[in-house]
Amino acid sequence: MTKNFVSNKDVTVRMFESDFLEAFSRIHYTVPLFIFLPVIAYFLYRSILFSLSASVIVLFIIFGLIVWSLTEYTLHRFVFHFPAKSEFGKKIHFIFHGVHHDYPMDSKRLVMVPTVSIPLSILFYYLFEAIFGVVYVAPLFIGFIAGYLFYDLTHYAIHHFNMHSKLWLAIKKHHIKHHFENENLGYGVSSPIWDKIIGTDFPKKK
CB 146 within 8 A of CB 38: no
Domain count, the chain: 1
| Start-to-end CA span in the chain (Å) | 29
Q: What is the phi/psi pair of residue 143, to 5°?
A: -65, -40
- The answer as to whether 146 is a domain residue is yes
Taking the CA atoms of 37, 43, 45 and 47 in sequence, report the sign of the dihedral they define: negative
- The answer as to whether 173 is a domain residue is no
- The answer as to whether 103 is a domain residue is yes
Domain that holds residue 120: 19-160
Give pLDDT, residue 7.
Answer: 67
- The answer as to whether 13 is a domain residue is no
- The answer as to whether 44 is a domain residue is yes
Q: List per-residue pLDDT tens for the chain, 206 residues long.
A: 344 557 677 777 888 888 888 887 889 999 999 999 999 999 999 999 999 999 999 999 999 999 999 999 999 999 988 887 888 777 887 777 888 888 888 888 889 999 999 999 999 999 999 999 999 999 999 999 999 999 999 999 999 988 889 999 999 999 999 998 999 999 999 999 999 999 999 998 76
- The answer as to whether 76 is a domain residue is yes
